[in-house]
Amino acid sequence: MFSMENVTKVYRVGEQDFTALHSISLEIESGSFLSFVGPSGSGKTTLLNILGGLDRPTTGEVRFQGKSLSVMSRVELAAFRRDHVGFIFQSYNLLPVYDVYENVLFPLILMGRREADVRDRVRELVHEVGLSDQIHKKPATLSGGQCQRVAIARALVKNPAVVLADEPTANLDAENSYHILELMQKLNRDFNAAFVFSTHDEKVTQFVRREIQLEDGYVKADRTRKVGGEAA
């Protein structure tokens, strides 16, 4: 689904260049459930942002379904994100004035869909994340775990090829983190969307089928393993 070839990211900091990613080459398959792990500053978020078309590499190539992101204009990149990528952030990024239903509906409205045509799809996703009872509540009245469930439903509602999740359990306690990870594992299977995380949370790494370890912008290890009896 994704291929990265010799991706480097250099930031200009004052008078100096700082290399956040050093010549990274990776393949990420459709339906993956994988995590970038590594200490703070190792390049996890930079890598996710480049995969999601939120940022561009300084050198190197990223392809999505064989198409190079480098040659896309800003408008084409925005369309790539809208049509193919769901985003989940550690701080949920829900729209506070909208209720659960409207937050999940929002990406479909951005895609030009009519509410009447997608109402059932939105309700299905809200149901999938276990929030049918809370569907008309505003984010401020929900718990952190419930807000993250809304964010997951919102990310999946448009049937993306991939969900990119930057530290999705960072603001959750242990019990909620496990519930959220189990839910994402189930949705990965049921909806056949790839999930790609960045994390330093060891709980996340117990759930993933592949773990790519980053250190100072280099890939230090890339492990694939069996999780819960599934084939690796």
Ligand X SMILES: Nc1ncnc2c1ncn2[C@@H]1O[C@H](COP(=O)(O)OP(=O)(O)OP(=O)(O)O)[C@@H](O)[C@H]1O
Does residue 45 belong to the site contacting ligand X (CB under 6 A)? yes
Stretch that binds ligand X, among 36-44, 69-77, 84-92, 150-158 (CB under 6 A): 36-44
Half-sphere exposure of 15 (CA within 13 A, CB side): 0
Beta-strand pair 2-13/59-64? antiparallel
Contact between 43 and ligand X by CB under 6 A: the answer reads yes
In the sheet with 33-37, reading across from the earlier edge strand, the strands are 85-89, 162-166, 194-199, 33-37, 210-215, 218-224
Exactly one of 41, 67, 222, 224 binds ligand X (CB under 6 A); that residue is 41
Among 4, 44, 62, 181, binds ligand X (CB under 6 A): 44
Is 91 a binding residue for ligand X by CB under 6 A? The answer is no
Phi/psi of residue 183, each to 5°?
A: -65, -45
Report the residue from 42, 103, 177, 188 that binds ligand X according to the rule CB under 6 A: 42
Task: Please identify which residue in 11, 17, 111, 186 interacts with ligand X, judged by CB under 6 A.
Answer: 11
- Residue 40 three-state SS: coil
Beta strands in the chain (DSSP E): 2-13, 16-28, 33-37, 59-64, 67-68, 85-89, 162-166, 194-199, 210-215, 218-224
Q: How many residues bind ligand X (CB under 6 A)?
A: 14
Q: Which residues make beta-bridge pairs with 121?
A: none
Distance CA 115, CA 105 (A): 8
Q: Which stretch binds ligand X (CB under 6 A): 11-19, 119-127, 138-146, 219-227?
A: 11-19
Site string for ligand X, 142-181 (x = CB under 6 A): ----------------------------------------
- Name which position in 4, 20, 104, 155 contacts ligand X (CB under 6 A): 20
Residue 216 Cα distances to 22, 26, 37, 40, 66, angstroms: 8, 17, 12, 9, 28
> To the nearest whole angstrom, how small is the minimum distance from the Cβ of residue 207 to ligand X?
18
Chain positions contacting ligand X, by CB under 6 A:
11, 13, 18, 20, 38, 40-46, 198, 200
